[in-house]
Structure 1
Amino acid sequence: MDDSVNLSRKVVAVAAGEAHTLALTGDGSVYSWGRGMFGRLGTGSEADEPIPVRVNFDCAGRSTEERLRFVGVAAGAYHSLALADDGSVWCWGYNIYGQLGVDGDNATVPCLLQHFIELASPDTLTDESETKSRVPLKVCSVKAGGMMSLAIDNLGALWMWGNCPQQSSSSEGGFFLVSSFIPTPVWDFHGHNVIKVACGNEHVVALVSAGETYKGEDIVCYSWGNNNHGQLGLGDKESRLKPEIIKTFNEDSPWAVYEVACGAFHTALLTHKKKPSDTLESLCWTFGIGDNGQLGHETTQCELFPKPVKGLPQNVYLISVGCGLFHTSVVSSAGDVWSWGMERGLGLCPDATFSGTDRGDALSPLLISCNGLQRPKFQDPVQVACGAAHTVLVAHDGYKLWSWGRGKSGVLGNGNTAHCFTPTMVLWPPLTEDSKQEESKTSEGVTETERRLSLAMDEMKLLQSKLFAMERYASVLHGSIFGKPFEEEDIPASLKNFGTFDIAKEWENMLEAADRAKLIRLEMSYRNMLAGVKDKLMKRRIQEIVEECLHSSSTGSK
């Protein structure tokens, strides 16, 4: 397999929106899957896509040889962004607040953001006399969250558009969200370089160089926007229209911040000790709303200052962090993944019917197992990203993807819409148009084999989902009767060996083998079920008698 084919199958970055996911491959292609409402997938329609599909940028009017090659992707709640290697920014999806950078309706296909074309960087426009020597602006990275979009240019200036926290003539100094389709520079960082940025529904967190140039660890962390839950990490709940330094990560801090992620109303940061340091250990810090345990601090309280997540093991180096609406996930360089927050760290997943001690929100990190694989960890991890209620992990150096959480609308990319409470394989790589053309050059037999293999994989994924649901059902039923989880050793021998099941005989054998404690529990379970049935029958009979009496009285009155 040549390098171009390898790169086309290697995912180098992912971004997750409310219910959709974007993936960027090494050859510069963009794929999307999940919910299609508002055109957020960029496919030309609002149809859902349960498996990854390639986003078509042929509307750029370029030949195949000159096709756009993309180097960045970003996802807001219902819109998407892609950055090409020539600096052009393409947007699609929901546009009610101007987050696409165009004055118009929602877009189901990528549209070019014209504002950055032949525009100079704000850092070069110091006065009128210098306008003749403008440095051509080139966007170097894009980010999105909620209903806003962000970009960083080649001189480190930050731009914002959509529904953003900005000063307005009508805001009278208070907090205000301004909707605009025109990218506006954040002048507060003039003379400094914005290195990374993240945003939630209504707040922004930026990593900015302390001096005029970025030297590696001289980063200061700023935040601004809505702060009603303490998501700015400034020690109070007062909103800010202008960036303010988070003191925990100022220039004198012993911690160097290298990753940042924002949920709707909470923030997560990854740090390591500044050099010189004997270890590469890292910490995850969280702050903001904690109602569902999304801060991982073993409580449901808000945190107004950054606080380390103590439930993570020491001696690990975290390489990526993602925040959903109500959950947070991190992945280490060794391939361990932890999640915490709503419904056992799955996010907004109301159908996750856990029982016993597994019920409820995870207030501290839970280790996510690599289900169904021989290796207990995720090999060669790259990145983790969180949507509103789903999590996506890129591993195997970009050649394999896993997802879990809410599966509605095909969000998990595994070919169906079932919820998955443990990692499931995304159907990757997809059968692209290029690969189909390559197949046409080979024999018909090979093409038919590939087609059947693809169908078989789809069927296997569906069967795996059904099997998981049945296993959960059997485990709940078995647990309610016998007081312990269902395990393989509990499968009756006749069913395991011969595929038949004589329930009367197996029940008799089970009673013979049961000790006194198990028999007492079975009797109690039987009595409780019997009492429940009798109670329901009694209530039904009373209801029938009442209805008969009402019917008789109404008939007699006539």
Structure 2
Amino acid sequence: MRTQSSSLTFIVLFLSIFSLTACDTKVKVKDACGDGFVDPGEQCDGADLAGATCASLGFYSVSTQPACSADCTFDSLGCGERCGDGVIQTAFGETCDGEALAGATCRTLGFTGGILACGENCQPDVSGCDSLCGNGAVDPSEPCDGFDLRGQTCQSLGWGAGRLDCLVSCQFDESECQSTCGDGLAEPDEACDGAALRGLTCAALGFAGGTLACDAGCALDTTGCTGGTSCGDGILDEGEACDGAELAGADCFTLGFDGGVLECGADCRLVTRRCLGSRCGDGVREDGEECDGEDLGDATCPSLGLGLGTLACGSDCHLATAGCEDVCGDGVIQPEAGEDCDGEDLGGFVCYAGTATCGDDCRVDIAACTSFCGDGVVDEGWGEVCDSEDLGALTASCGELGWAGGQPACRADCQALDYATCLPWVDLAAAQLHRTCGVDPNSHLWCWGVNKAHNADWYYVLGDRTNTHSNCGYGDCSLVPVQVVMDGNGTPLDGVTAVTLGINHSCALKLDGTVWCWGRNNFGQLGDGTTTDRVTPVQVASLQGVTQVACNGDFCCARTSLGAAWCWGNNQQGQLGNDLTTNASTRVRVVHAADPSGFLADVARVEAGPAKTCALKTDGTLWCWGAANLGDGTTAASRVPVQVLDPAGAAPLTDVTDFSVFTNTCVRRTDGTLLCWGHNTHGSLGDQTTTPRALPVHVLVQSGLDPYTGAAQVNIGAEHSCLIRDDRTAWCWGNNLTSQLGIGGTWGFGYPVQVAGWQVPHLLDVAKLAGSEAGSCARTQDGRIYCWGVNGYGRFGDGTQDSHGGTPAPVHGQLP
């Protein structure tokens, strides 16, 4: 027995040691609230919310997240409003909530009595209300009562003429309504009329195909249909919801309506057109309807995987697929039916080694093919440069090529890369001093370049809460984009739609119409009611419904959805437009004595220069205020808006569609011409002189004889100007001492010259420009950002301080 016991002990000990040494991977062996993992029975754990948002929990907010309580349940106090919170949220369509009925009763809703409740959707639940047919008052479940016809007539019910009455059963009496066969309108007692077939086809009626017609008696003519059908014989067969008068016991009530008359359609589907509350049959696809009449949405036979043919809409507003036909096997490749091959035709597929065939599903069968494009191995002998995940020697990421991030894919033919998977930048802004920002497709914000405030020993201008980037000759800077965050945990600023930059501060516009700013705040330019510098974004106080915001220098202005203009920050030159020169740490409204309200109204857009502001009104006029050269024929500053005049100075400038403000101002008019005014030391006005202008002058073509035309957008920097032509090319003029024109070299031009490209002759497909003192940046239509000019502080965001010979270089996006 001792020997057996010792042996057993040895075996147990051996197995224990083996189990401890067999795997050195750390695993979670015990559920515990607070360990950062969502275990069974836990809604959340720490920062792990299991993907939950306030919206997914039933709240109306789409931009906030719940917190996680100490007991690993959701804390939704910050989520705001929801159906079921006991408060009627009329802004979200609620008419009741819990016990709150807003004074409504069964009687106020038209019933004779009963108990009204609030449904789970925060709409009245009238199932407990009573109605009384014959009391002369139409209850919600009655089409009519006595002489009360709900305003309906024979014509409103689809008849041509006649008198509508009400039966003692409180249903419409349409016996006196009249139809006119041949008028092209399919009336209630007509199956069709001329070309009006009620959306029916042979397929919808159960036939295999063919052409449906309408005979002279307004009855369906199925002689042109092929294949047989039992629909219409008055007998309820398999696959039919009804047939003639046979409704299988269904009525409007059993289908969830409040009453009315249920009918059977010619396609043996239930017709709810005359049920109370039904919208089926009105030709407009509603919730719960797959189709309605001719409106099939995006559905087709191929999209349903049913080959080709004709898809129709049934009388019950559900799709009728009988007309779809499987075409696989006919020897003809039908890509629209999802076929890659058919029969012997492999659709150009090449098997390098082995044999490929076409399967029964018309997809290429590669079971016997050992080498082909798509096998994941680059076969250079067959001309492949990439294959599936193997990108061969093409190693550049999307971020290195100017996009926000992502990875390119191999094109289906293995001959080149496909960049459709790259993540685009959706907005762009450049600051006065070597700083640039962009918005990624996730509505997050990234900035790069100098991180130290100008003329101040203060960092954090980039918004990522650090001051430990590369030292690049100006304190601290980042040579590649860094993400703007909300707190020390690295939570990104989200919901961003646009960004704008001042000299030492930045502001972001969010989807909810609020504005958030960070950086230096010595003039109150963050708009939070203080002059405290902020390393992370704070919300501009008392400002909602913003659709556009513009910052420059040490101030900002915003335009709201109501067409008002509000400004805050430095006001030493009157750039806030409130007839004062006192700085404002909260928003002040731009005044305008000529407007009945006393404020500037009907504003379509605002733009800011270092110390002045301009606003485009909806009537196409431009108004400016702040520092000198406002376009009114004088060089005086103004604390209130003054109207920009035409080149002759005799009338207001009109037909303005786009404009840009820096130390100068330029506008684009509806005819595609450009006008500029202000300083002109380096020819930045484009009139081929260096004479300063107090009134607008035309930007001229190279010959100097005619106005420049074909401009789509305009954007200016400190001493240079740029435009986007209607062909999406970029052109610049003015000072070029630091290669601001993007043409290579440092020669300046007094007329527009085309910006060079990166690895191509010229920059193409430009969607937006952003100018600064050091140069400009451009965002292309496919979402890439290129910059040119001075790159001494990482303003290009390409990981270097190389200015690349004065031609555009791509920003290196950092999204994975």
Instruction: State the Cα deviation string for residues 232-281 of structure 1 (Å, max 9, x = none).
Output: 111121111111111239998896322222111111111123xxxxxxxx
Q: Alpha-carbon deviation of 1:113?
A: 1.9
Aligned twin of 2:637: 179
CA–CA distance in structure 2, aligned partners of residues 240 and 141 of structure 1: 24
CA–CA distance in structure 1, aligned partners of residues 804 and 739 of structure 2: 6
Of 213, 229, 235, 2:688 maps to 235
SS at match of 2:615: strand
CA–CA distance in structure 2, aligned partners of residues 31 and 229 of structure 1: 36
Aligned twin of 1:207: 668
SS at match of 2:813: coil
Aligned twin of 1:75: 551
Aligned twin of 2:531: 46
What are the equivalent positions in structure 2 for 1:146-295 lying under 5 Å apart? 146-166=610-630, 177-188=635-646, 190=652, 192-201=654-663, 203-209=664-670, 218-248=671-701, 256-273=710-727, 282-295=728-741
Of 721, 728, 742, 1:296 maps to 742
CA–CA distance in structure 1, aligned partners of residues 653 and 530 of structure 2: 43
SS at match of 2:747: coil
SS at match of 1:178: coil
Aligned twin of 1:95: 571
Q: Alpha-carbon deviation of 1:115?
A: 2.2
Asked whether the 8 Å contact 1:72–1:82 carries over to 2, the reply is: yes
Asked whether the 8 Å contact 2:610–2:662 carries over to 1, the reply is: yes
**Structure with greater strand percent:** 1
Aligned twin of 2:98: none
Q: 1:37 to 1:191 in 2, by over 3 A?
A: closer
CA–CA distance in structure 2, aligned partners of residues 37 and 70 of structure 1: 24
CA–CA distance in structure 2, aligned partners of residues 178 and 337 of structure 1: 38
Q: Alpha-carbon deviation of 1:43?
A: 1.6
Of 367, 384, 389, 2:810 maps to 367
SS at match of 1:98: coil
CA–CA distance in structure 1, aligned partners of residues 597 and 521 of structure 2: 35
SS at match of 1:235: coil
Q: 1:294 to 1:40 in 2, by over 3 A?
A: same
Q: Alpha-carbon deviation of 1:315?
A: 8.1
Asked whether the 8 Å contact 2:684–2:734 carries over to 1, the reply is: yes
| 2:584 is aligned with 1:107 | yes
Asked whether the 8 Å contact 1:161–1:184 carries over to 2, the reply is: yes
CA–CA distance in structure 1, aligned partners of residues 582 and 494 of structure 2: 34
Asked whether the 8 Å contact 1:293–1:361 carries over to 2, the reply is: no
User: Aligned residues, how many?
Assistant: 323
Asked whether the 8 Å contact 1:91–1:110 carries over to 2, the reply is: yes
* Letter aligned with residue 5 of structure 1: V
Q: Alpha-carbon deviation of 1:120?
A: 9.0
CA–CA distance in structure 2, aligned partners of residues 50 and 117 of structure 1: 41
Structure 2, unaligned stretches of length 5 or more? 1-52, 64-442, 444-492
| 2:767 is aligned with 1:319 | yes
CA–CA distance in structure 1, aligned partners of residues 697 and 596 of structure 2: 28
CA–CA distance in structure 2, aligned partners of residues 335 and 288 of structure 1: 27
| 2:527 is aligned with 1:23 | no
* Letter aligned with residue 554 of structure 2: Y
Compare relative contact order (CA 8 Å, sep 6+) and give the higher one, 1 or 2. Answer: 1
CA–CA distance in structure 2, aligned partners of residues 54 and 116 of structure 1: 30
Asked whether the 8 Å contact 1:42–1:55 carries over to 2, the reply is: yes
Q: CA RMSD in A?
A: 3.3
SS at match of 2:783: coil
CA–CA distance in structure 2, aligned partners of residues 93 and 332 of structure 1: 32
Aligned twin of 1:339: 787
CA–CA distance in structure 2, aligned partners of residues 77 and 305 of structure 1: 27
Q: Alpha-carbon deviation of 1:137?
A: 4.2
Asked whether the 8 Å contact 1:20–1:34 carries over to 2, the reply is: yes
Larger radius of gyration: 2
Asked whether the 8 Å contact 1:327–1:347 carries over to 2, the reply is: no
Asked whether the 8 Å contact 1:344–1:366 carries over to 2, the reply is: no
CA–CA distance in structure 1, aligned partners of residues 686 and 794 of structure 2: 24
Aligned twin of 1:435: none
SS at match of 2:808: strand
Asked whether the 8 Å contact 2:616–2:623 carries over to 1, the reply is: yes
Q: 1:120 to 1:112 in 2, by over 3 A?
A: closer
CA–CA distance in structure 2, aligned partners of residues 167 and 204 of structure 1: 8
Q: 1:88 to 1:186 in 2, by over 3 A?
A: same
* Letter aligned with residue 503 of structure 2: E
Q: Alpha-carbon deviation of 1:334?
A: 1.7
SS at match of 2:739: coil
CA–CA distance in structure 1, aligned partners of residues 680 and 502 of structure 2: 22
Q: Given the two structures, how large is their TM-score scaled by the length of structure 2?
A: 0.37
CA–CA distance in structure 1, aligned partners of residues 626 and 789 of structure 2: 28
Of 748, 754, 762, 1:308 maps to 754
CA–CA distance in structure 2, aligned partners of residues 107 and 306 of structure 1: 39
SS at match of 1:37: coil
Q: 1:219 to 1:113 in 2, by over 3 A?
A: same
* Letter aligned with residue 513 of structure 2: G
Q: Alpha-carbon deviation of 1:294?
A: 1.5
Q: 1:338 to 1:290 in 2, by over 3 A?
A: same
Q: 1:167 to 1:244 in 2, by over 3 A?
A: closer
* Letter aligned with residue 23 of structure 1: A
SS at match of 2:726: strand
Aligned twin of 1:481: none
* Range moving further from structure 2, 35-44 or 6-15: 6-15
CA–CA distance in structure 2, aligned partners of residues 315 and 301 of structure 1: 19
CA–CA distance in structure 2, aligned partners of residues 261 and 234 of structure 1: 16
Q: 1:4 to 1:311 in 2, by over 3 A?
A: same
Identity of aligned residues (%): 27
Q: Alpha-carbon deviation of 1:296?
A: 1.0
CA–CA distance in structure 1, aligned partners of residues 593 and 796 of structure 2: 37
SS at match of 1:87: coil
Q: 1:52 to 1:259 in 2, by over 3 A?
A: farther
* Letter aligned with residue 262 of structure 1: I
Q: 1:116 to 1:10 in 2, by over 3 A?
A: farther
CA–CA distance in structure 2, aligned partners of residues 95 and 83 of structure 1: 18
Q: Alpha-carbon deviation of 1:199?
A: 1.4
CA–CA distance in structure 1, aligned partners of residues 721 and 505 of structure 2: 21
Q: 1:369 to 1:319 in 2, by over 3 A?
A: same
* Letter aligned with residue 679 of structure 2: N
CA–CA distance in structure 2, aligned partners of residues 348 and 334 of structure 1: 18
CA–CA distance in structure 2, aligned partners of residues 50 and 287 of structure 1: 37
Q: 1:252 to 1:288 in 2, by over 3 A?
A: closer
Asked whether the 8 Å contact 2:683–2:689 carries over to 1, the reply is: yes
SS at match of 1:152: strand
SS at match of 2:592: helix
Q: Alpha-carbon deviation of 1:18?
A: 1.3
* Letter aligned with residue 775 of structure 2: H
What are the equivalent positions in structure 2 for 1:382-531 lying under 5 Å apart? none
Asked whether the 8 Å contact 1:342–1:361 carries over to 2, the reply is: no
